[in-house]
């Protein structure tokens, strides 16, 4: 038996894609304590960290301090609420808000 995240990363071809990546972006609706206990972002971050890659996370809601993110291998989190504090707008206009967050990530890590 293997943890589900390991199986999914294998099925998705994560390792070969990781070799070509400059930055790994993972995400979840809410980054919270549950994230640290076997959810996909923690598994992605662990695999990327083992390969020496930086990991950032995009989330709707951030409920973890920077220290906890760092221990999980996530260098920085980008909650949608930083771009738009109104949660109803975050839900209704997620696409355009995600585009703004992606631009910020690119400025912070890829330029």
Specify the fold of 4-79: Rossmann fold (3.40.50)
Q: Contact at 8 Å (CB) between 32 and 74?
A: no
Q: Contact at 8 Å (CB) between 57 and 30?
A: no
Q: Which residues of 3-23 are buried (b: 16+ CB within 10 A; e: fewer)?
A: eebeeebeeeebeeebeeeee
Q: Over the stretch 41-86, which tens digit does the pLDDT of each residue have?
A: 999 999 999 999 999 999 999 999 999 999 999 999 999 999 999 9
What pLDDT does 21 receive? 94
Answer whether residue 26 shows pLDDT above 80. Answer: yes
Predicted TM-score (pTM) of the model is 0.89
User: What's the rounded mean pLDDT across residues 4-25?
Assistant: 93
User: What's the rounded mean pLDDT across residues 9-24?
Assistant: 94
Answer whether residue 38 shows pLDDT above 80. Answer: no
Q: Contact at 8 Å (CB) between 44 and 15?
A: no
Instruction: Sketch the domain layout of the chain as residue ranges.
Output: 4-79
Round to whole Å and give the CA distance between 1 and 17: 24
């Amino acid at each position: 038996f293997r943890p589900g995240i390991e199986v999914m990363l294998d099925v998705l071809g994560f390792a070969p894609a990781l070799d070509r990546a400059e930055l790994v972006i993972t995400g979840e609706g809410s980054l919270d304590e549950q994230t640290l206990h076997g959810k996909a972002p923690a598994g992605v971050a662990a695999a990327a960290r083992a390969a020496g890659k930086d990991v950032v996370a995009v989330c709707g809601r951030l409920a973890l301090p920077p220290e906890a993110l760092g221990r999980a291998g996530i260098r920085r989190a980008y909650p949608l609420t930083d771009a738009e504090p109104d949660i109803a707008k975050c839900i209704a206009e997620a696409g355009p808000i995600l585009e703004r967050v992606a631009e910020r990530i690119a400025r912070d890590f890829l330029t």
